Amino acid sequence: MPTIGVDKEDFFVALGQRFTADEFQELCFDYGIELDEDTEDDPSRPPEEKPQLKIEVPANRSDLLCFEGLARSLNIFRGKEPAPTYRVLDIPEDQMQCITVAKETADIRPFIAGAILRGVRFTQASYDSFIGLQDKLHQNLARQRTLVAIGTHDLDTVQGPFSYEARTPENIRFKPLNQKKDMDGNEMMTTLESDRHLGRYLHIIRDAPRYPVIYDSKRVVCSLPPIINGEHSKITLNTTNVFIELTATDRTKLEIICNSMVTMFSQYSSEPFTVEPMLIKEVDGTKRVTPNLTPLKMEVDVDYINGCCGLDLPPSSICKLLERMAYTSHPLESSIEVLIPPTRPDVLHACDIMEDVAVAYGFNKLPRSLSNKSATVGKPLPINKLADIVRQESAMAGWLEVMPLILCSHDENFAWLNRHDDGTTAVKLANPKTVEYQVVRTSLLPGLLKSIRDNKYVRLPLKIFEASDIALKDNSLERRAKNERRWAAAYCGKTGGFEIVQGLLDRIFLMLRVQDYFIQEISDPTFFPGRAGGVYLGKKGGESQRIGEIGILHPEVLEKFEIKYPVSVLELNLEVFL
């Protein structure tokens, strides 16, 4: 989970109270966060560095990623201040600052949003917090800027209307932030390669034919997202009007991060918690106004909240608890209408509201009881129960179970088994860290053979098995892939051992009461010619279904896996028995 560092003295001032270590630990626990470290008594802290509180916050709470949001939430929770009402100023369209989107941006970063904070007064601490929140959002919700990139500018140094375009690197020229000279897109990429902070983001657009860029009305470059802003519009402590622009590849994340930025720092505006909107003119001629800070409405049953928490509270009492968690709510007949603030994108279902009611009531105060009736009946999934039966019978027959990893290299899954990758079966990792983990296995054989290879000094014969999942592409499903439970066994000895593996197959089928099955010779490059068979369910010559393979492995396969003795294997699809 993210850890937020705040100045201890400033934080206690913002909370309006000095806490002892135990008192602050208790406050954090009650709210569902955790004090990770207090550096005041840390002997390794430099004398000139102020004591800090390092607080661990939930990963889904983007409103707690900065000093302002954390202090505000704790004050509301303690009843020291009411939840703010965030407001977007009502400005006629012809008076709004606008951003016009060019059609070329659709191929690189198609979405953009903007907002303006007026009359801001930065201190060094609030400025650092403003920059720090951007970094935290970039690392977490924005997924290292791949989904969303935030740019902040001194509005008084640029002039609207703005345009969002995509141009070739040679046609973009500006002075990047903290650089001393103008440069084009290619020069900028070369210059920033050695930058420890920005260099990690260059790959996002480096190979694109066009780079996204934001211009003001005088063709001054404001930013080249998602890499860097321009020096011309750099924010300083003297900045009073802040222009925030966000570009994205994901519209949902764009709206969440835009709302997080403006709600956290609109408290510094001349009119607190107000935001000046911007007009976005899309390529198709449509217009939209950002940000949208309208609270979402959700209706939650009182009985559901009380039932989950073990309470018997009236709607009015639940509404008071929700106030402590920054909600606005109104009791209805048997339910509660809850207004979810724009700071809480993590609230998706009634269970999220129920959880916050439990937090406000106090987890330690919830009644402890043992239900005299079960809401559900626990039982294993049928496929898991079947796999456990097969696993137990294999072990009782004297075979050892292995549990290799589900990821393997592309060669292990295909080339080393003399199999061809047609591109329609294996789920591949987009950015594998090592060659050992490139694909999700489509067969249990690579794992069994690697287990034999890594235990070559174990006394022969070696009899091993595995009952686990593989993954296969399936375009008919929403997730484009499916798991399939399989069972496989391998025998390695000084003789082929085909009859031993077949004996295990017969034992498992006998235990499963499968009578109609047969083995028929097949041609498969994984196996030795004439020593491979397909396992079929049904009557020979009648209707049947192939459910697996059995055979002695080809010497080329054994050589690639560095195995010196013959190996017989068996692999079946268990899901056909359900």
Confidence of residue 7 (pLDDT cuts 50, 70, 90): confident
Output 377 or 318, whichever has higher pLDDT. 318
Over the range 547-564, which residues count as b (16 or more CB within 10 Å of their CB) and which as e? bbbbbbbbeebbebbebe
pLDDT score for 372? 57
- Over 60: is that where the pLDDT of 100 sits? yes
Confidence of residue 371 (pLDDT cuts 50, 70, 90): low
Residue 346 CB coordination number (10 Å) = 14
pLDDT score for 378? 77
Side-chain half-sphere of 90: how many Cα atoms within 13 Å?
1
pLDDT score for 533? 95
CB 577 within 8 A of CB 508: no
Distance CA 229, CA 237 (A): 17
Phi-psi region of 256 (alpha: psi -120 to 50; beta: other; left: phi over 0): alpha
pLDDT score for 541? 79
Output 25 or 47, whichever has higher pLDDT. 25
Distance CA 290, CA 109 (A): 17
pLDDT score for 197? 86
- Over 60: is that where the pLDDT of 545 sits? yes
**Average pLDDT score over residue span 426-432:** 91
**Average pLDDT score over residue span 98-126:** 93
DSSP letter at 66 equals: S
pLDDT score for 160? 83
% of the chain surpassing 70 pLDDT: 99
Q: Where are the alpha helices (DSSP H) in 373-494?
A: 382-396, 410-413, 445-453
pLDDT (tens digit, 9 = 90+) per residue, 259-293?
999 999 998 898 999 999 999 999 999 999 999 99
CB 20 within 8 A of CB 8: no
**Average pLDDT score over residue span 415-436:** 92
Token readout for 487 is 């069972």
Confidence of residue 375 (pLDDT cuts 50, 70, 90): low
Confidence of residue 49 (pLDDT cuts 50, 70, 90): confident
pLDDT score for 376? 67
Residue 334 CB coordination number (10 Å) = 9
- Over 90: is that where the pLDDT of 450 sits? yes
Confidence of residue 48 (pLDDT cuts 50, 70, 90): confident
Residue 527 CB coordination number (10 Å) = 22
pLDDT score for 540? 83
Distance CA 274, CA 570 (A): 68
Distance CA 242, CA 265 (A): 10
pLDDT score for 226? 92
CB within 8 Å of 208: residues ≥ 6 apart? 107, 108
Residue type, position 564, single letter = K
Q: In the chain, helix, strand, coil percent, each to 5?
A: 35, 30, 40
Q: Cα dihedral angle (166, 169, 175, 176), rounded to 10 degrees?
A: 80
